[in-house]
Each structure stands twice: as C-alpha cells, then as structure tokens.
C-alpha cells in the first residue's frame, strides 16, 4: 500500500530581541540590539524540533519551521487548510492576519517569540509553483 504524500507547510518564527527596549528606529549602530540571545534561539529551535517541525537555520532574528498542517494545528491550536495548488492559510476564523496565535504554545516558548508568520505568495509572476 502506498502512503499518501503529505503537503508540507512552512512559517517563519521571529524571536524577541535580547537588548532592545525602546521602539527607536533600527540603524547600523543598533541593529545588534534586535537580535535574540543565543540561549533564546537555541531553546526556541529545540522546542519546535521536539514538537515535530523541521527547523531551519537561524538568520538574524528568525528561523523557519516546516511540517504537515496537522502539526501546525496541534501545536498552535488553529486550523490550517491548503487548497490544491494554493498557499497554506488559516481557516476563516483566523483569516484577518498572517500570524499564528501563540497562546497555545508553552509559556516558556511563547515568551521568546514576537510572531510566527505565514507569508502569502506574491500576487505577480507564475501561478503554478
């Protein structure tokens, strides 16, 4: 029997900065303040890996997570759907934002995160990818 191939979905986890307190503009002299601590980055990446996500390499203040929709549903307490050939999105009750809710994450992980976002596809270029 051939197993049904699962569609994978990706999102970007954006971590809270370690040193930035005020909402001042980001410049080349203070950009380092926008980065998370190494410990926060390691703990967040481990938590998502342990929850069943493939965790991407950290770049600046974020990393990607990839898994089947049911893993997102379980971890974030939301319902994702993906129409054939379309970008993954949340069900209509969450359609107002491209951010996933953080309230179902363990507090020790949620406190490290600014947002988990799902980038919509561009509205130009090829439509079949």
User: Hey, where are the domains in the chain?
Assistant: 9-17+31-117
Confidence of residue 3 (pLDDT cuts 50, 70, 90): low
Q: Mapped to the 3 state alphabet, what secondary structure does the chain carry?
A: CCCCCCCEEEEEEEECCCCCCCCCCCCCCCHHHHCCCHHHHHHHHHHHHHCCCEECCCECCEEEEEEEHHHHHHHHCCCEECCCCCCCEECHHHCCCCECCCCCCCHHHHCCEEEEECCCCCCCCCCCC
Range of 12-21, 44-53, 57-66 with top mean pLDDT: 44-53
pTM of the shown model: 0.76
How does pLDDT run across 57-114, given as a tens digit for each residue? 999 889 999 999 999 999 999 887 655 555 554 443 444 458 999 999 999 999 999 9
Q: Which of 6-20, 48-62, 90-104 has the lowest mean pLDDT?
A: 90-104
According to the model, what pLDDT value does residue 41 have? 96
């Amino acid at each position: 029997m051939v197993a049904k191939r699962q569609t994978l979905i990706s999102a970007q986890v954006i971590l809270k900065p370690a040193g930035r307190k005020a909402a001042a503009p980001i410049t080349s002299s203070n950009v380092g303040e926008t980065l998370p601590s190494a410990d926060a980055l390691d703990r967040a990446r481990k938590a998502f890996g342990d929850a069943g996500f493939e965790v991407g390499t950290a770049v600046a203040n974020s990393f990607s997570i990839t898994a089947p929709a049911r893993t997102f549903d379980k971890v974030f307490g939301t319902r994702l759907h993906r129409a054939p050939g379309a970008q993954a999105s949340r069900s209509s009750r969450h359609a107002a934002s491209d951010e996933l809710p953080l309230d179902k994450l363990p507090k020790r992980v949620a406190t490290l995160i600014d947002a988990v976002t799902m980038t919509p596809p561009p509205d130009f270029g090829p439509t079949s990818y």
